[in-house]
Each structure stands twice: as C-alpha cells, then as structure tokens.
Amino acid sequence: WLLGAEAVPNGAGKAAAAEGLADKWRLPSHIVLLRHGESLGNIKESVYRVIPDWQIPLTERGKLQARNAGRKILDVVGKRKVVIYYSPYTRTVETLDQILETIPAEQVCIVQEEPRIREQDFGNYQDGTMKDIKKERVRFGRFFFRFPEGESGADVYDRVSSFFETLFRQFKRNPISKIGPDEDY
C-alpha cells in the first residue's frame, strides 16, 4: 500500500523546484510504499488451494510486523498529515488496521481503497499445477509470462502505472480538502 506525507508547499523544496513543479503542484515530499505483514500464504503456500488469494489473512507475526511498521512510519512523518491508499486484499486491510492504531486519527486525512495496487494475480491455485507453471515462467521470462487466468508482471506494471498517473493528477489539482494550504502532508 501507499502512504504519502509532508507536502512541498508552493515555491519550496529543492527537488521539486529543480523540476519546476513546486510552483504548479503541491507534492508530498515522502511517499512510503509498504507491503503487508506476513500472511498465512507466506508460511503455508498450500493455503492458496482452499482460500482465495484476496482473502488470505495475516498471521499473528504479520500483525506485529504491521504495528512495528506503523511506529516506524510515524517516526518518519512526525506530526504531518497522512494520506493512505491500500489494496482491498484482506491481509492488506489487516495491515492497515494495525498501522492506523499507531497513527493519531487527527493526522489521517484520507484512507482510500485502491484495487490497482493489489498484488499480482497468479490465477487459480486449486488444481495443484502451480509448480509446473512457475517452472514455465522461469523459462519464458518472469516479467512477460502471464499466468493462466492471472497476470504477467507487465500487466501489473501497467495497472500500477495508471494509479501513479492518477495520483500525480491529484497532486496537480490538490483535491485534498482536509489539508489546509499551510499544512504539510
């Protein structure tokens, strides 16, 4: 999932000014990308045969990892406002819940589900042929191999790129009404 914090106000920020964007856009100076904590699928791959991928939950260790990540994120953002985009997968929502316990509610401006940043869809695991399919992927090439009933790495790249394009259009329009013109996010 994605978390943005600390805006570069108009006319400020060396990196944004160097690109000439600071006068036009209100850019966050921090973007934190975070994967979910340890899931049941990370420790027991056979679970994908009985539980749909998007419903795989976190383990207790994964919940602890998520709380620890939340504390580290809070160290980075300090008192700044926070905008969060997250995948609709169960393990990601559970990670989000743990992180939101560590960030004061008054700092959180937006929490928005964004399906374009979900994990790669590897198709259905139920038939037990995934081991052979993964061998074929190595032979064919990891990035361009499309899993049966699933996605290739290139497919994921395209949909995530679409999300980033949307995100930058939001920066340009500055639609975050919960953040005042002098507040950072």
Instruction: Give the residue ranges of DSSP H helices in the chain.
Output: 14-18, 40-43, 60-77, 90-100, 130-140, 153-173
3 DSSP β-pair partners: 32, 84
Higher pLDDT, 31 or 111: 111
Say which of 6, 36, 38, 151 is annotated catalytic.
36
User: How far is it, in rounded angstroms, from Cα 180 to Cα 185?
Assistant: 10
Q: How many CB atoms lie within 10 A of CB 64?
A: 14
113 DSSP β-pair partners: 86
Is the Cβ–Cβ distance between 114 and 85 less than 8 Å?
A: yes
Say which of 38, 94, 119, 151 is annotated catalytic.
119
Q: Crossing angle, helix 60-77 and helix 90-100, to 10 degrees?
A: 50
What is the tens place of the pLDDT at every residue in 32-89? 889 999 999 999 988 988 899 999 999 999 999 999 999 999 999 998 888 899 999 9
Residue 139 has pLDDT above 70, yes or no: yes
- 6 catalytic? Reply is no
- 136 catalytic? Reply is no
